[in-house]
Amino acid sequence: MKSLRQPLRLNFDDSTGLPAHSTEITLNDWQERIRFGCKWRQFKQLEHYLAPLLPAVEQLGCVLLGSGDYHHLSQLLLARLDSTQPIHLIICDNHPDHMRYPFGIHCGSWVYWASRLAHVARIDVIGISSEDIALKHAWENHWLPLIQGKVHYWSIQQSASWTRWIGAKNAWRGFANADDLMQEFLTELSSDLPIYLSIDKDVLSETVVQTNWDQGHFLEQHVQQLIAACKGRLIGADITGDVSAYHYQSRFKRLLSASDGQIEPTASEVQQWQIAQIALNQRLIEAMASAWLN
């Protein structure tokens, strides 16, 4: 039985397309303040603005966030869930998004803040091939949630063996390819908690779609397998990793995004890449229609 939940586009950057039967909240005026990262004051202002506009949690389908620069909006959506109902947060991402960021919250730090939500019982970030978890960047990762067993990294062709040195040997699993990772993850996926699924399409190979971040090894089939495994348990979901070009007014944000290795695609690249991205969004949303928790 398919759910009546309605997909929603939080439209900061006109990147996602408008899937069938979806609604939209226009947020273009918030782009400079929120994109890539923001101070907590700005984040709370957006949260307050969206509160009366967002559908009730039980009516909300998959939320399209746009560029991966908005992945920290997953934190806002997670915070709306019932704080008394433990959930399992599964994140498909080429990056851990669990890095230290002293200026508020940003797209690379939000997993740490999600780990501090009482109802988020476990977090698995799957598909990481970024050097963000390599030894030279170990100090930039938040260690305590790894040590506590709340956050887990599942990587492809990237080692985070340093986790055992901090007393978190069970926090990292490494694989040679995406097939092996997904097979192992689905074998171990427990069946006792509702699931919130967050998909950043930079986890996908460049042969599937193009983003403006470094990309991973997943194929669409791996994400589809995961969605199928969530059948009857999906309590919330979002998709990010669409592509758009934006030139920050803030010099600080320009420096930060450049330091993260972001490329700024041309207008023609954006137009071309969005064709495949929009089509993929529709297919993933359609797959989720049978996965929702009733």
User: Which domain range does residue 275 map to?
Assistant: 6-30+37-288
Q: How far apart are CA 229 and CA 143, in angstroms?
A: 29
Q: Dump strand ranges (E) for 110-181.
A: 120-128, 151-156, 172-175
Q: Is residue 294 part of a domain?
A: no
Can you give the pLDDT of all 294 residues of the chain as single tens digits? 556 899 999 999 999 999 988 999 999 999 999 999 999 999 999 999 999 999 999 999 999 999 999 999 999 999 999 999 999 999 999 999 999 999 999 999 999 999 999 999 999 999 999 999 999 999 999 999 999 999 999 999 999 999 999 999 999 999 999 999 999 999 999 878 999 999 999 999 999 999 988 999 999 999 999 999 999 999 999 999 999 988 778 888 777 776 666 667 888 899 999 999 999 999 999 999 999 997
Cα first-last separation, the chain: 9
Which residues, in sequence order, are bridge partners of residue 24? 9
Q: Is residue 1 part of a domain?
A: no
Q: Is residue 207 part of a domain?
A: yes
Nearest by Cα to 73 from 253, 239, 244: 239
Q: Is residue 200 part of a domain?
A: yes
Q: Is residue 293 part of a domain?
A: no
Q: Is residue 128 part of a domain?
A: yes
Give the domain CATH number at 262. 3.40.800.10
Is this model's pTM higher than 0.75 or not? Answer: yes
φ and ψ of 106, to 5 deg: -145, 180
Domain count for the chain, please give it.
Answer: 1
* CB crowding 218-251: b at 16 or more within 10 Å, else e: bebebbebbbebbeebbbbbbbbbbbbebebeee
φ and ψ of 90, to 5 deg: -115, 125
231 to each of 163, 195, 286, 294, how far by Cα in Å? 32, 10, 13, 10
